[in-house]
Every structure is written in structure tokens, then in C-alpha cells.
Amino acid sequence: MIYDISPAITERLAVWPGDVPPRREVLLDMKRGDSITLSALRATVHLGAHADAPSHYAADGQSIDQRRLDYYIGPCQVMRVKVPRGACITAEMLTSPITASRVLLWTGTFPNPDHFNTDFAALSPVLVDMLHQQAVVLIGIDTPSVDLFDSKDLPAHQMFLRHDMAILEGLVLDGVPEGTYELIALPLKLAGFDASPVRAVLKGGRDSIMKVQ
């Protein structure tokens, strides 16, 4: 069983206000009689499901090509949290004990990848710190940022930096039962870049437990 937890990249996909949405430029097209079809993509690297690099939030931070790949492959827990829109997830909102070193949180506060709503939920820095104490190395979320939309000092991002943890944003976790999976979400080797889109998938889930909310 494989769950695809990435939104489709189309020209409708919402990006952060002011950022560069995806555009496909078709240079050659077999439907027009060309011998091949050939196209180019222009877009922000914070596109759909993506991995942030530390250089996104720290001037001397590692770029995405410099990050260890083991963050992005391995055991992963999916958890649903009840959090109001525009609020930060706190430790008290976690519904089950941590079972893996990667944690993906479903909030349901950014329900349509093609529509950018600014009142999505985020992570409290204290929660990031607490998950680090429990040996978590990666946290993923179904919103465009681990900090709230109007945050300027980015306290959650800064806590990821302090503990050298990895961030996945823009995941689509609808329909994924809570439980433990294998995560595969490799960033592209974009030298010097501050993020990369990922094709995020979850494998397995034999021991996953459906929770009624």
C-alpha cells in the first residue's frame, strides 16, 4: 500500500502570496507535429509538498543539496490533531504517544492545495523542542508553513534550526489513517537552493490504527 501525500503540481496550485506559481512552457509538442514533447518549468522551490533547507531561515544554514538524505527516508508516524485555524499545535493536542523519529501532523486547516487560506495552523516551538527530546528528526505538516502566516520571527523554524531537524510542508494527509509507515520524500539535489519539492509517499501501514475523531 502506498499513500501519495503530495498535491498535484498544476498552474492552479497555490503558492505563498507573492511567490512564483508553477508555469509550464511547452517548447516542442508532438500534438503539433514536433518529433518530441519538451517543456520547461518555472516555479518557487517551496512548491506543493516540499522540504525546507536551513538556508531558508538562517543566513549561514545548509542548502537543500547539503542535507543528509536519511531525514527523508524511514519510519514515520501520522497523527491527526484537533487545532483551531490560525492557532499553533501544542504538546497537549497530540493524541497518541510518539512511535517514530518522523512525525506528520494532519490539521485539516489548509484543505485545498489550489486555494491559499492564511488562517492555517502551525507548530508551537515548544512542541518542536519536545518532539526533539523524543528523538524526532523530521516533522511534516499539511499547511504551507510550520509557523503562522503572519509570523515574522519564525519561532518554530528557529527551533528546527537549533536542533538540526528537517521540515516538510504542504503535505496532503487527507484519508491517511493514523499509524506508522515508511516515509519516502527525497528532495532534489538543487545546489545552493533553500528548499526542494518532494514526491512524498507513505509505504505500509500494516500496524496503522484508525482513530475516530
- Chain residues in the site for Zn ion (CB under 5 A): 46, 52, 169
If DSSP codes are grouped into helix, strand and coil, which group holds residue 100? coil
Q: How far apart are alpha carbons 212 and 65 in whole angstroms?
A: 40
In this complex, which beta carbon is closest to Zn ion, that of residue 99 or of residue 151?
A: 151
Concerning whether 157 is annotated as a catalytic residue, the answer is no
The catalytic residue among 50, 56, 115, 132 is 56
**Measured from the CB of residue 136, what is the shortest distance to Zn ion in angstroms?**
19
- DSSP for 181-194? EEEE-PBP--TT-S
Q: How far apart are alpha carbons 28 and 203 in whole angstroms?
A: 36
**Measured from the CB of residue 145, what is the shortest distance to Zn ion in angstroms?**
6
For residue 209, the Cα-to-chain-centroid distance in whole angstroms is: 22
Which residue's C-beta sits nearest to Zn ion? 46
In this complex, which beta carbon is closest to Zn ion, that of residue 184 or of residue 193?
A: 193
Give kind and range of the element (H or E) at residue 121.
Answer: none
**Measured from the CB of residue 123, what is the shortest distance to Zn ion in angstroms?**
13
In this complex, which beta carbon is closest to Zn ion, that of residue 52 or of residue 178?
A: 52
The residues assigned a catalytic role are 56
